[in-house]
Structure 1
Amino acid sequence: MGQFLQFVFLGLSTGAVYAVLASSLVGVYAATGVINFAQGTLGLWAVYAVAALRSEGDLILPIGHIPIGSADDPVSMGPAIFIGVLSAVLWAIVAHYLVFRPLRHAPVLAQVVASVGLMLFVQALVHLRFDTEDLLAMRILPADTIEFAGAVVNVSDLILAGIAVAIAALFWAYFRLTRLGVATRAGAEDELAARLVGYSPDRLAAVVWVITGAATGLIAILAAFTIGLSVTSYTFYVIPALAVALLGRLTSFGVACAGGLFLGAFQAVITWLTTKDWWPDWAQAGLGDAVPFVLIVIALFLMGGRIPSRGSLGEVKMPAVRIPRIRPIPTIAVLAVVTGVILLTEGTWRYGVVTSVILSLIALSLVLLTGYLGQISLASMAFAGAAGFALSKLTTNWSVPFPFSILFAALIATGLGIMVGVPALRIRGAQLAVVTLAAAIAIQGFVFNNPGITAYEGNLITDPTLFGIDLGVRDGTNLVTLRFSLMVLVVVTIATLCVMRLMAGSTGRAFLAVRSNERAAAAVGINVSATKLLGFALSAFLAGVGGCLIGYSRGQLSAGSFTVMVGLILLAMTYVGGITSVSGAFIAGIVGPLGVGYVFLNQTLALGEYYEIIAAAGLLLAAILNPVGMAGAFTELGDKLRARRHHASTAVDDGDGGGSTASLVTPTTSKAGLHA
Structure 2
Amino acid sequence: MWRVTTFIQFAVLGLGLGAVYVGLATGLLLVHRATGIINFAQGAMGMWGAYVFAQLQVDGTLVFPVGQLYLPEPPGVVLSLFIALLMGLLLGILAHYLVFRPVRHAPVLAQVVVSIGLMVAIQALVVIRFGPNNIAVDEVVPRVDIALVGVAVSGRELVMAVLMVGLAALVWVYLQFTRAGSATRAAAENERGAALMGFSPDRLAGFAIMLSTVISTAAVILGSSITGLNPENYTLIVVPALAVLLLARLESIALVCVGGLALGVLQSELNLVSTSEWWPTWAKSGLDQVVPFLIVMVILFAFGKRLPSRGSLQTVRLPDVTLPRIRLLPAVLLIGGAALAVSLTSGQIRFGITSSMIMMLLALSYVVITGYLGQISLAQLAFAGAAGFTLSKIATAWGLPFPLAVLLSSVVAILLGMLVALPAFRIRGAQLAITTMAAALAIERFVFGNYSLTPPEGNPIAEPMIGGVNFAVREGRDLARLEFSVLVLVVAALAVLLFIRLASGDTGRAFLAVRSNERAAASAGINVRMTKLIGFGLSAFIAGLAGCLIGYSHGQLSAESFEVFVGLQILAVAYVGGITSFGGALVAGLIAPLGILYVVLHQLFEMGNYYALITGIGLMITAILHPSGIAGEVHRAIAALRRKQRGGPAGAGTADAAAEPGDDPSRKDPSHAS
Report the TM-score when normalising by structure 2. 0.95
Q: Which residue of 1 aligns with 2:600?
A: 600
The answer on whether the counterparts of 1:2 and 1:149 sit within 8 Å (CA) in structure 2 is no
Deviates more, 1:496-505 or 1:606-615: 606-615
Once the two structures are TM-superposed, the CA of residue 670 in structure 1 deviates from its matched residue by 6.5
Q: Which residue of 1 aligns with 2:408?
A: 408
Once the two structures are TM-superposed, the CA of residue 97 in structure 1 deviates from its matched residue by 1.2
Once the two structures are TM-superposed, the CA of residue 325 in structure 1 deviates from its matched residue by 1.1
Q: Which residue of 2 aligns with 1:661?
A: none
Q: Secondary structure at the match of 1:152?
A: strand
The answer on whether the counterparts of 1:26 and 1:245 sit within 8 Å (CA) in structure 2 is yes
Aligned equivalents of 1:134, 1:543: Cα separation in 2: 32
Output aligned runs, 1:404-443, within 5 Å. 404-443=404-443
* CA offset digits 1:89-115 (Å, max 9, x no partner): 111111111111111111110000000
Q: Which residue of 2 aligns with 1:280?
A: 280
Residue segments in structure 1 that go unaligned for 5+ positions in a row: 652-666
Once the two structures are TM-superposed, the CA of residue 152 in structure 1 deviates from its matched residue by 3.3
Code of the aligned partner of 2:32: Y
Once the two structures are TM-superposed, the CA of residue 671 in structure 1 deviates from its matched residue by 4.9
- Please say if 1:48 is aligned against 2:33: no
Q: Secondary structure at the match of 1:173?
A: helix
The answer on whether the counterparts of 2:515 and 2:658 sit within 8 Å (CA) in structure 1 is no
Output aligned runs, 1:546-561, within 5 Å. 546-561=546-561
Aligned equivalents of 1:609, 1:272: Cα separation in 2: 36
- Please say if 1:213 is aligned against 2:216: no
Q: Which residue of 2 aligns with 1:672?
A: 657
Output aligned runs, 1:227-246, within 5 Å. 227-246=227-246
Once the two structures are TM-superposed, the CA of residue 136 in structure 1 deviates from its matched residue by 2.2
The answer on whether the counterparts of 1:382 and 1:444 sit within 8 Å (CA) in structure 2 is yes
Q: Which residue of 1 aligns with 2:62?
A: 59
Aligned equivalents of 1:14, 1:489: Cα separation in 2: 47
Aligned equivalents of 2:134, 2:21: Cα separation in 1: 25
Q: Which residue of 2 aligns with 1:23?
A: 26
- Please say if 1:270 is aligned against 2:270: yes
Deviates more, 1:630-639 or 1:204-213: 204-213
Q: Secondary structure at the match of 2:221?
A: helix
Q: Secondary structure at the match of 1:608?
A: coil
**Structure 1 residues 152 and 344, CA gap change in structure 2 (3 angstroms):** farther
Once the two structures are TM-superposed, the CA of residue 223 in structure 1 deviates from its matched residue by 2.3
Q: Which residue of 2 aligns with 1:655?
A: none
Q: Secondary structure at the match of 2:460?
A: coil
- Please say if 1:147 is aligned against 2:141: no
Aligned equivalents of 2:543, 2:134: Cα separation in 1: 37
Output aligned runs, 1:282-321, within 5 Å. 282-321=282-321
Q: Which residue of 2 aligns with 1:324?
A: 324
Code of the aligned partner of 1:285: S
The answer on whether the counterparts of 1:3 and 1:151 sit within 8 Å (CA) in structure 2 is no
Output aligned runs, 1:446-465, within 5 Å. 446-455=446-455, 458-465=458-465
The answer on whether the counterparts of 2:516 and 2:657 sit within 8 Å (CA) in structure 1 is no
Aligned equivalents of 1:134, 1:37: Cα separation in 2: 22
The answer on whether the counterparts of 1:318 and 1:675 sit within 8 Å (CA) in structure 2 is no
Q: Which residue of 1 aligns with 2:336?
A: 336
Once the two structures are TM-superposed, the CA of residue 675 in structure 1 deviates from its matched residue by 3.8
Q: Which residue of 2 aligns with 1:32?
A: 35
* CA offset digits 1:611-647 (Å, max 9, x no partner): 0001001001001111010000000000000000000
* CA offset digits 1:402-443 (Å, max 9, x no partner): 100000000001111111110000000011000010100000
Aligned equivalents of 2:132, 2:52: Cα separation in 1: 11
Code of the aligned partner of 1:528: V
The answer on whether the counterparts of 1:55 and 1:135 sit within 8 Å (CA) in structure 2 is no
Aligned equivalents of 2:345, 2:7: Cα separation in 1: 60
Aligned equivalents of 1:114, 1:415: Cα separation in 2: 30
Code of the aligned partner of 1:475: E
Once the two structures are TM-superposed, the CA of residue 133 in structure 1 deviates from its matched residue by 2.7
Q: Secondary structure at the match of 1:551?
A: helix
Code of the aligned partner of 1:271: N
Q: Which residue of 2 aligns with 1:543?
A: 543
Q: Secondary structure at the match of 1:153?
A: strand
Output aligned runs, 1:580-619, within 5 Å. 580-619=580-619
RMSD: 1.7
**Structure 1 residues 456 and 44, CA gap change in structure 2 (3 angstroms):** closer
Aligned equivalents of 1:581, 1:670: Cα separation in 2: 14
Aligned equivalents of 2:187, 2:335: Cα separation in 1: 54
Once the two structures are TM-superposed, the CA of residue 56 in structure 1 deviates from its matched residue by 1.2
Q: Which residue of 2 aligns with 1:196?
A: 196
Output aligned runs, 1:517-532, within 5 Å. 517-532=517-532
The answer on whether the counterparts of 2:32 and 2:38 sit within 8 Å (CA) in structure 1 is yes
Once the two structures are TM-superposed, the CA of residue 192 in structure 1 deviates from its matched residue by 1.2
Code of the aligned partner of 2:253: F
Q: Secondary structure at the match of 2:383?
A: helix
The answer on whether the counterparts of 1:105 and 1:314 sit within 8 Å (CA) in structure 2 is yes
**Structure 1 residues 22 and 134, CA gap change in structure 2 (3 angstroms):** closer
Once the two structures are TM-superposed, the CA of residue 604 in structure 1 deviates from its matched residue by 1.8
Q: Secondary structure at the match of 1:672?
A: coil
The answer on whether the counterparts of 2:370 and 2:376 sit within 8 Å (CA) in structure 1 is yes
Output aligned runs, 1:87-98, within 5 Å. 87-98=87-98
Code of the aligned partner of 1:556: Q
The answer on whether the counterparts of 1:601 and 1:611 sit within 8 Å (CA) in structure 2 is no
Aligned equivalents of 1:457, 1:196: Cα separation in 2: 62
Q: Secondary structure at the match of 2:556?
A: coil
The answer on whether the counterparts of 2:46 and 2:220 sit within 8 Å (CA) in structure 1 is yes
Once the two structures are TM-superposed, the CA of residue 3 in structure 1 deviates from its matched residue by 0.9
**Structure 1 residues 57 and 362, CA gap change in structure 2 (3 angstroms):** same
Q: Secondary structure at the match of 1:66?
A: strand
Code of the aligned partner of 1:36: N
Deviates more, 1:523-532 or 1:218-227: 218-227
* CA offset digits 1:536-591 (Å, max 9, x no partner): 01111110010000001111110000110000000000000000111000111111
Q: Which residue of 2 aligns with 1:86?
A: 86
Residue segments in structure 2 that go unaligned for 5+ positions in a row: 662-674
Code of the aligned partner of 1:63: V
Q: Which residue of 1 aligns with 2:668?
A: none
Aligned equivalents of 2:45, 2:398: Cα separation in 1: 47
The answer on whether the counterparts of 2:512 and 2:658 sit within 8 Å (CA) in structure 1 is no
- Please say if 1:178 is aligned against 2:178: yes
- Please say if 1:102 is aligned against 2:87: no
Code of the aligned partner of 1:339: A
Q: Secondary structure at the match of 1:322?
A: coil
Q: Which residue of 2 aligns with 1:486?
A: 486
Q: Which residue of 2 aligns with 1:353?
A: 353
The answer on whether the counterparts of 1:12 and 1:261 sit within 8 Å (CA) in structure 2 is yes
- Please say if 1:365 is aligned against 2:350: no
The answer on whether the counterparts of 2:45 and 2:88 sit within 8 Å (CA) in structure 1 is yes
Aligned equivalents of 2:612, 2:191: Cα separation in 1: 36
Once the two structures are TM-superposed, the CA of residue 458 in structure 1 deviates from its matched residue by 3.6
Aligned equivalents of 2:425, 2:113: Cα separation in 1: 22
Aligned equivalents of 1:571, 1:398: Cα separation in 2: 34
Q: Secondary structure at the match of 2:153?
A: strand
Alignment coverage as a number of residue pairs: 657
Q: Which residue of 1 aligns with 2:631?
A: 631
The answer on whether the counterparts of 1:323 and 1:671 sit within 8 Å (CA) in structure 2 is no
The answer on whether the counterparts of 1:35 and 1:430 sit within 8 Å (CA) in structure 2 is yes
The answer on whether the counterparts of 1:52 and 1:135 sit within 8 Å (CA) in structure 2 is no
Aligned equivalents of 2:140, 2:204: Cα separation in 1: 33
Q: Secondary structure at the match of 2:613?
A: helix
Aligned equivalents of 1:151, 1:436: Cα separation in 2: 41
**Structure 1 residues 457 and 161, CA gap change in structure 2 (3 angstroms):** closer
The answer on whether the counterparts of 1:375 and 1:429 sit within 8 Å (CA) in structure 2 is yes
Q: Secondary structure at the match of 1:321?
A: coil
Code of the aligned partner of 2:248: G
Once the two structures are TM-superposed, the CA of residue 5 in structure 1 deviates from its matched residue by 1.1
